[in-house]
Every structure is written in structure tokens, then in C-alpha cells.
Amino acid sequence: MSIASPNIALIKYWCKGTEGTNAPAAGSVSFLIDPKSLWTETRAELATDEKTRFWINGIEREVPEAYWRLSSAFPCLTRCPIHIHTTNNFPIGCGLASSASGAAALVLELDRLFSTHLSRRELSAAARVYSGSGARSIIMGVAEMIYDPNLPIEERWHAIPLEVHESLQSLKCLVVLFSSTEKTIGSTEAMNLCSGTTAMNARLKRIPERLKRCREALRIGDFNELAAVATEDWRCMHSVIQDVIGLSYITEAGWELAERIDARRKAGAQIFITFDAGPNGVILGSAEALREVYSLPIGNKLIFQCEVRLK
């Protein structure tokens, strides 16, 4: 059995490239939720009924198309039927990066099953082939998705660890669950609908500068700059989604919480919020600032604290 946890993007992955290997169009940066808090466990075994089958939380599902793309890293997949059982201790398909932890756990488990002994870079690239953000869940800490044109095409996009200043390594995390329902329009479909549009192209042009700002803020321990660039990026992503396809993943209550968190940060609190492509918010900040969140009027929403990996 293998385990992985979701990563939460500071600079979002939100546009696919054109290389045909589920590559992104730009880099991204994320931090990892500690596997002790949120996790995906995957167990794979050779099938006796000569049919590959998938179960998620005990319910059998169709084998994802993305699974067969992994044959580039694990050639045995085309010859060996496998039964795969995946369990999550958090809701799936609602913007909490379950596809990322699922991809990482699956790749780690296939590497174990077939004794392929892939390198960390190869594992990251393979997880990315399955799920675009999965590459970052292979890295234990803050990760950046990078492109290396000198590598084989399947491995050119992979994640690497980033340096994080010691002053940021004590930050804590809260997940605010506004909805545990699977999204009616998944991230991949929404991303494809946005691809090639004026709004998306404008976003992509800004990504290199945001990556540079984020990387430097992490390196020198500039929390305010980290919060500013992360906030700028998630708001930009959700603006593109709204402008292009008229979809708002974030609920009215979510937007209200975001405004309250922004106000607290501008008043001096070490705190900020980010939303992936879904309704649920993730708050990063000092322990003192996060304690104040519980007193905010955000209704009967589930809030749970998670440990994070920042180094």
C-alpha cells in the first residue's frame, strides 16, 4: 500500500500545453498537506480475473483513461490486469486536490508493485501524466513544476522542491469545507473550455513573473509578498473561469470569507486564503491568526486544521 496527500497551489496550474502528455502550459508552485492530516491510500494487486478494475472508497468506477497513459512509465500495465483500491479520508472532486494525491499514491504503488525503482523525478513526471497537479504531490514540501527541454518528452515537466525560509516553516493551515459534492464541471473540462481564450492567454503571460515573486518570497521569508502573489493568482484564475464559461466555483459564503481574510491580512494578521478550482477554501497563516478564523461569521461550515509540509 502507498500513501500520498494533496498539495495546495500558491501559483495555480490552470492550462494544459500541447505536447500530448498532459503537460501544463506554465509552471506552478504548491505546498503539501501533511499525510497525517489528509491522505489518499492506494493498494494495487495483480488481478486474477484478467481485467483491470478501480475502486474509490469502496465503490467500483470505470478505469480512467489517464490510467493507460501511465504505460509510458510502467510498460507492464498493457500486459498485466490490476485491481486498484483507493481510499481518501477527505471529499473527492470538490476542489481539494484529490486527483493530485490520487495520482501520486497510484504512481508510488505501481512503482512498488512492479519494483521499477523510479527516481523522484520520474515518479513526479509519471504522476503528472495521470493528473496535471499530481507531480507536486510526490515532493515532500513546497514544490515547483518546471520544464527541462533536455529530458525525454514524458519527463520534461516535473516538480522539484523549493527552498523555504525558516520563518515560514511554522505556518499552519485550515481547510474550510463549503461543499463536499463533486463538481458538475470538473477541472479538466473547465480548463479545456478556457484554453486559447484571450482571458487565459493574458493569465499565462503573467505566470512567469508570479512564479519569480513566489519563489523569492519563499526563499527570503516574505509572508506579505507570498500572500499577495498567491491571492492575486487564485483571483485571476477564478476570474478567467467566470469570464469565459460563466461558472463560479466559489460560493457567496466563500467570497465573503475571502474578503474577511483579506481584511484581516491588511490589518496586519499573518494570514491569507486560496481557492483551487472548487468551492472550498484553504487558509494559511500563523497559529495566532488562524485561531481568529473560528470567530468569523461564516455559517455552519466545517473547518478543520491540517498540518502542512513546508520543508
| SS3 state of residue 87 | strand
Strands of the sheet with 302-306, listed across from one edge? 271-275, 281-285, 172-177, 302-306
**Residue 274: how many CA atoms within 13 Å on its side-chain side?**
26
The answer as to CATH 3.30.230.10 being correct for domain 2-161 is yes
Confidence at residue 91, expressed as pLDDT on a 0 to 100 scale? 81
Confidence at residue 49, expressed as pLDDT on a 0 to 100 scale? 87
| SS3 state of residue 301 | coil
Confidence at residue 300, expressed as pLDDT on a 0 to 100 scale? 58
Confidence at residue 19, expressed as pLDDT on a 0 to 100 scale? 55
- 308 neighbors 143 (Cβ within 8 angstroms): no
| SS3 state of residue 213 | helix
pLDDT digits (tens, 9 = 90+) for 26-58: 999 999 999 999 999 999 999 988 899 999 999
Q: At how many degrees (to 10) do helices 98-114 and 120-130 cross?
A: 130
Q: Domain 166-309: give its CATH superfamily.
A: GHMP kinase, C-terminal domain (3.30.70.890)
Domain boundary assignment for the chain? 2-161, 166-309
The three three-digit cell numbers of residue 1, written as one number: 500500500
Confidence at residue 85, expressed as pLDDT on a 0 to 100 scale? 98
CA Rg value for the chain: 19
Confidence at residue 15, expressed as pLDDT on a 0 to 100 scale? 86
Q: How much is the pTM? A: 0.93
- 310 neighbors 164 (Cβ within 8 angstroms): yes
| Residues in contact with 202: Cβ distance below 8 Å, sequence separation at least 6, in sequence order | none
- CA dist list (Å): 116 to 75, 106, 112, 120, 287: 10, 14, 7, 12, 41
- The terminus-to-terminus CA distance of the chain in angstroms comes to 25
> What is the identity of the amino acid at 145?
M
- 160 neighbors 139 (Cβ within 8 angstroms): yes
Confidence at residue 173, expressed as pLDDT on a 0 to 100 scale? 95
Q: From CA 301, how far away is CA 282, in angstroms rounded?
A: 13
Q: From CA 113, how far away is CA 62, in angstroms rounded?
A: 21
- 56 neighbors 86 (Cβ within 8 angstroms): yes
* Residue ranges of the chain whose pLDDT lies below 70: 18-20, 94-95, 298-300
- 110 neighbors 84 (Cβ within 8 angstroms): no
Confidence at residue 205, expressed as pLDDT on a 0 to 100 scale? 96
